[in-house]
Amino acid sequence: MTQPLLTPVPLPAGVSIRDAVPDDGETIATLVRELAAYERLEHDALATGDDFRRHLFGPNRAAEAILGERDGQPIGFALFFTTFSTFRGRPGLYLEDLFVRPEHRSMGIGRALIARVAQVAVERGCGRLEWAVLDWNAPALGFYGTLGARPLDDWTVHRLDGLELTRLAELAG
């Protein structure tokens, strides 16, 4: 497969990409709720601004976020965290969410956000950047293909949460 030729896309006037700060907790929560609505998962979007302040900026930081803004107003975000590949013996980054508000799409903002996450991965010596995409999300699948990303067809994501997670944890004694 031939890799696509990536060319920089200049951001529109007034658009900037920056690292999130603790005061962005509620903004991130709002953007996550908008993403959840787009993905038809509103019932799963329980996180609050306080959750993001605690887990993105607290002493036990679990993830990081970057924001896209236009004229100082939030228009998108990327949230990611460190993983580790035993096969490569190196860390990686997992992109948990990438979202741009619909009225700001197709202007290079999503590309700028994910490019910044890729830059962080390279700066930290990571061996990979990974993420999951809903099977029905053709626009996202197409967008990621333009970046040279490829689906991992041989892998199936599994999840434990709620009661099942609690029950399995209880087996540890």
Sheet holding 129-130, edge to edge: 15-19, 64-70, 73-85, 90-100, 129-130
Angle at 35 (CA atoms; ends 31, 41), nearest 5 degrees: 130
Q: Rounded to the nearest 5°, which phi and psi values hold at 68?
A: -105, 135
Question: Any catalytic annotation for residue 144?
Answer: yes
Active site residue: 144, 149, 160, 172, which one? Answer: 144
Helix (H) or strand (E) holding 121: helix 109-123
Active site residues: 144
